[in-house]
Amino acid sequence: MDYMFELKMEVRDYECDIQGIVNNSVYQNYLEHARHKFLHSINLDFAQLHNEGLDAVVTRVEIDYKYSLRPRDLFGVRIRLRKRGNLRFVFEQQIVRLEDEKLIVKAEVTGVLTKNGRPIAPAVFDEALLAAGLDVMTEK
Amino acid sequence: MDYMFELKMEVRDYECDIQGIVNNSVYQNYLEHARHKFLHSINLDFAQLHNEGLDAVVTRVEIDYKYSLRPRDLFGVRIRLRKRGNLRFVFEQQIVRLEDEKLIVKAEVTGVLTKNGRPIAPAVFDEALLAAGLDVMTEK
Amino acid sequence: MDYMFELKMEVRDYECDIQGIVNNSVYQNYLEHARHKFLHSINLDFAQLHNEGLDAVVTRVEIDYKYSLRPRDLFGVRIRLRKRGNLRFVFEQQIVRLEDEKLIVKAEVTGVLTKNGRPIAPAVFDEALLAAGLDVMTEK
Amino acid sequence: MDYMFELKMEVRDYECDIQGIVNNSVYQNYLEHARHKFLHSINLDFAQLHNEGLDAVVTRVEIDYKYSLRPRDLFGVRIRLRKRGNLRFVFEQQIVRLEDEKLIVKAEVTGVLTKNGRPIAPAVFDEALLAAGLDVMTEK
């Protein structure tokens, strides 16, 4: 995947379950943490947006589990962002084991920006991406 | 949804995040816990299957987040199971707030049964479902 | 232990770690959830108190791990409350496996009530306990 | 504190609760992760020890909560190890906010080494510490 951002992390023992592998729900934590770091990297500050009544809300996730991470594995969470129509943005994400580039998880996370609970056009996203020099494709 | 099994649960405060609502990844814990309770209810014991080299593995989840649960909300996790082809089984799941039947989450979780790491036909599932008197539809 | 309140719970598979037992940090979740349920049972509503600037804050925990819980174990979290001096309250808590009354965890959790960040005499606690007919011992 | 090991970490948003601060139970995850990294740093491999029937078991924790961490805070988890008698080892741990050296959490975690479930003298610990050039004090 041709990605815009990568966060490198390491599996912590307490994230693993009885089968000795990272529990399925933990990958969502990894994916979320990487999205937040990405958005901070382009100067989108959620605490500040929240004070202006703006919230980014996840409406759908699709996750394909290809292979399992184990204790102490080093992995990268990679992100590419695109827009869908006027309101939705889609994060394509991959989790890759760094040692051998093995694909662990492939995810598509769809979100909207809400103002006081209602979806609005994500102009603050567009501006932040532009300022960061990132081109974002829009699907029809 | 016409469901085979429902597990009733209550939101715990520590499951909620900064926004005061249940964190997205926690719904996967709820969904998993309900699946395990369902499978135990038809006498499928994972610890025992594991000792015979059999493991149920989730390969894909799709989750639509419709509305948020808040601290102390009572909710039901509902399950319907169907098969897809010879190898895959699909759990259709819904999380519903019990007070008003509000749909919170809609999910489709796909899995396979593996023996020593390789997918096999889930005969033990078929037998357990049959013994429990549950009809399971198969998609082509 | 002669307790004021008991919450019955069941171990969920995702709460267990690589060793096949409940992870040490999860017991704190169990203990917290039981304290919150206890306080709600005597009509102390944290959301409401918080809006009045009142927060209950844990300042210290001591936990003795005696034995481990395993998947599907049923357990009770038992609570007795006492006061220490004018400001502090102490929750004595035990986690007991219900099948055989085996003691799993013994804990002492100390807290204070704060108003706008400063400890105050927990008069709302005293009143709620009195109204519930519960006698609370005070240590010097 | 004069420490033997420090692990630097950053608060992740999903680790924070309704109050906007790191949930109390999460500090135990931080403390555990730092202990495991420390032990790996002196070449103690738990997976390998486990295969030889050896397990490190936490028997008691004492945690003083001094101040709260917030989203994105950078912190260090510091560790000093000492022995208590022939069987027990004690990890003194501190969590410190790196920006200003503010003390967040002070903890004492007591453990034993077990072989097939029974406490044994932790000779493998002594050897690993010696090989790493670390002096460990023994309390009577």
Is B64 annotated as catalytic?
no
Size of interface A-C (CB pairs under 8 A): 22
User: Is pLDDT of D50 > 90?
Assistant: no
- Residue B33: closest C-alpha in chain C: C12
Chain B partners within 8 Å of D16 (Cβ) = 17-18
The helix-helix angle for D24-41 and C24-41 (nearest 10°) equals: 170
- Using alpha carbons, select from A46, A41, A55 the residue that is nearest to residue A132: A41
Rounded-to-integer distance, Cα D125 and Cα D131, Å = 10
**Rounded CA separation D74/B62 (Å):** 34
pLDDT tens digits, one per residue of A34-49: 999 999 999 987 777 8
Q: How far is D86 from chain C (nearest CA, A)?
A: 20
pLDDT, residue A7, reads 98
Say which CATH number the domain at C98 has. 3.10.129.10
Q: Residues D81-117: pLDDT tens digits?
A: 999 988 999 999 999 999 999 999 999 999 999 998 8
Spatial separation of the C-alpha atoms in residues B27 and B99, rounded to whole Å: 18
Among candidate residues A2, A17, A73, A126, the one labeled active-site is A17
Mean pLDDT, rounded, for B36-43 = 94
Interface residues of chain B, partner chain C, Cβ below 8 Å: 12-14, 29, 32-33, 36, 40, 46-47, 71-72
Residue A125 confidence (pLDDT) above 90: no
State residue C15's pLDDT score: 96
Residue B57 is part of which domain span?
A: 5-139
Q: Residue D114 belongs to what H/E stretch? A: strand D102-115
Strand partners, D96: D76, D103
User: Which residue, D69, D115, D76, is CA-closest to D93?
Assistant: D76
3 state SS of C29: helix
Average pLDDT score over chain D? 93
Question: DSSP class of residue B26?
Answer: H
- Closest-CA distance of chain C to residue B91, Å: 18
D18, B71 Cβ separation under 8 angstroms: yes
Q: Which of B26, B28, B60 sits opposite A64 (nearest CB)?
A: B60
- DSSP character string of C45-103: -HHHHHHTTEEEEEEEEEEEE-S---TT-EEEEEEEEEEETTTEEEEEEEEEETTTTEE
Amino acid (1-letter code) at residue B130: L
Give the type of residue at C55. Answer: D
Among D18, D24, D28, most B C-beta atoms within 10 A, so best to mutate, is D18
What is the H or E stretch that residue D32 is in?
Answer: helix D24-41
Say which residue, D20 or D61, is predicted with more confidence.
Answer: D61
Give the mean pLDDT of B112-129: 90
Angle at B80 between CA B76 and CA B85, to 5 degrees: 155
pLDDT for residue B47 is more than 80: no
The residues on C that touch B, with CB distances below 8 Å, are: 12-14, 29, 32-33, 36, 40, 46-47, 71-72
User: Which residues fall within 8 angstroms of residue D57, CB to CB, at 6 or more apart?
Assistant: C65, D111, D112, D113, D114
CA distances from A5 to A58, A94, A107, B93 (A): 19, 11, 15, 33
**pLDDT value of residue A62:** 98
Let me know: does D87 contact D112? Beta carbons within 8 Å: yes
* Rg, C-alpha atoms of chain A: 16
3-state secondary structure of A63: strand
| Pairing of the two strands A138-139 and A74-84 | parallel
3-state secondary structure (DSSP) of residue A13: helix
Contact D48, C40 (CB under 8 A): no
Choose among C14, C17, C18: nearest Cβ to A25. Answer: C14
- Nearest CA distance, A133 vs chain B (angstrom): 30
User: B110 pLDDT band (50/70/90 cuts)?
Assistant: very high
pLDDT above 90: residue A126: no
Distance linking the first and last C-alpha atoms of chain B: 21
CB-nearest to B14 from C12, C33, C47 is: C33
CA distance C33 to B22: 15
> Residue C53: its pLDDT value, please?
86
Strands B88-97 and B102-115: antiparallel
Q: Point out which residues pair with A65 in neighbouring strands.
A: A105
Instruction: Closest CB to A58: pick one of B24, B28, B29.
Output: B24
> Both tokens of residue B137?
């539809």
- Amino acid found at C84: R
Distance in Å, alpha carbon of D140 to nearest chain A alpha carbon: 32
Q: Cite the beta strand spans of A5-73 per DSSP E.
A: 5-10, 54-65
CA distance D127 to A137: 58
Residues A90, A81: Cα–Cα separation, whole Å:
6
What pLDDT does C11 receive? 97
Residue whose structure tokens are 């190898």:
B87
The domain total for chain D is 1
Tokens of A10: 């390491």
Query: pLDDT per residue over A49-104, tens digit each?
Result: 878 888 889 999 999 999 999 999 999 999 999 999 889 999 999 999 999 999 99
With 0-12 / 13-18 / 19 or more C-beta atoms within 10 angstroms meaning exposed / middle / buried, residue A51 is exposed
Q: Which of A10, A13, A51 to mutate to test the interface with D (most CBs of D within 10 A)?
A: A13
Per-residue pLDDT of chain C (140 residues; tens, 9 = 90+): 899 999 999 999 999 988 889 999 999 999 999 999 999 999 987 777 878 888 889 999 999 999 999 999 999 999 999 999 889 999 999 999 999 999 999 999 999 999 988 999 988 888 999 999 998 888 87
Say which residue the tokens 């599996």 belong to. Answer: A11
In order of A35, A133, B61, C42, the CA distances from A42 in angstroms are: 11, 9, 29, 48
What token pair was written down for A91?
């994060």
Which H/E stretch holds residue D79?
Answer: strand D74-84
Entry pTM: 0.95
